[in-house]
Amino acid sequence: MFERFFPDDYVASTYVIPFEKLYKDGYRGVIFDIDNTLVPHGAPADERAEKLFRRLGEIGFSSCLISNNQEARVKMFNRNIGTHYIYNAHKPSTKNYLKAMEIMGTDRSNTVFVGDQLFTDVWGAKRAGIRSILVKPIHPKEEIQIVLKRYLEKIVLHFYKKQRKQADI
């Protein structure tokens, strides 16, 4: 029942994802959510985010940000990053996941999505046929509508972890 929301991978942070291994495995594009995936809500890109995007470029990845935020927010974050971006993305609609791949010159088979929310980020990526990596939110302070969704996410993640545990047996 909840499988449609299950990520392909679930890790503690964007900053522990083994991007070199993903590249070796054939991935060439990474689509990122911004808030609570790369930085706390509303924060500009920090040194850690800037370093990550330099590293991705050195590895050979194309990247794109897709955010449900307005352009001013996304543009502010991207100022020192300098990657492609799509704002007002209407996730979980698949339209802008597909547009991001078109911009990067990648396809479903070689693109991975990284985000912190199941019902927007991961579900949209799954519907678009893209590998999804769920990360734990960076900061607990969130907008009220997200706080409410987090309660439902806990239920889905319980069943996700249970399924993963059974698969490991």
What are the DSSP calls for 31-93, one per residue?
EE--BTTTBSTTPPP-HHHHHHHHHHHHHT-EEEEE-SS-HHHHHHHHTTT--EEE-S--TT-
Encode pLDDT of 64-118 as tens digits. Answer: 999 999 999 999 999 999 999 999 999 999 999 999 999 999 999 999 999 999 9
Q: Where do we find the tokens 């209407």? A: 90
- Cα 77 off chain centre by: 15
Phi, psi of 149 (to 5 degrees): -65, -30
pLDDT at position 155, please? Answer: 77
- Label residue 16 by pLDDT band (50, 70, 90): very high
**Calpha distance 92→74 (Å, rounded):** 17
- Which residues share a beta bridge with 115? 134
Phi, psi of 116 (to 5 degrees): -110, -5
Q: Which of 44-53, 138-147, 160-169 has the lowest mean pLDDT?
A: 138-147
Across the range 136-161, mean pLDDT stands at 74
pLDDT at position 144, please? Answer: 57
List, in order of start, the domains of the chain with CATH numbers. Answer: 3-168 (3.40.50.1000)
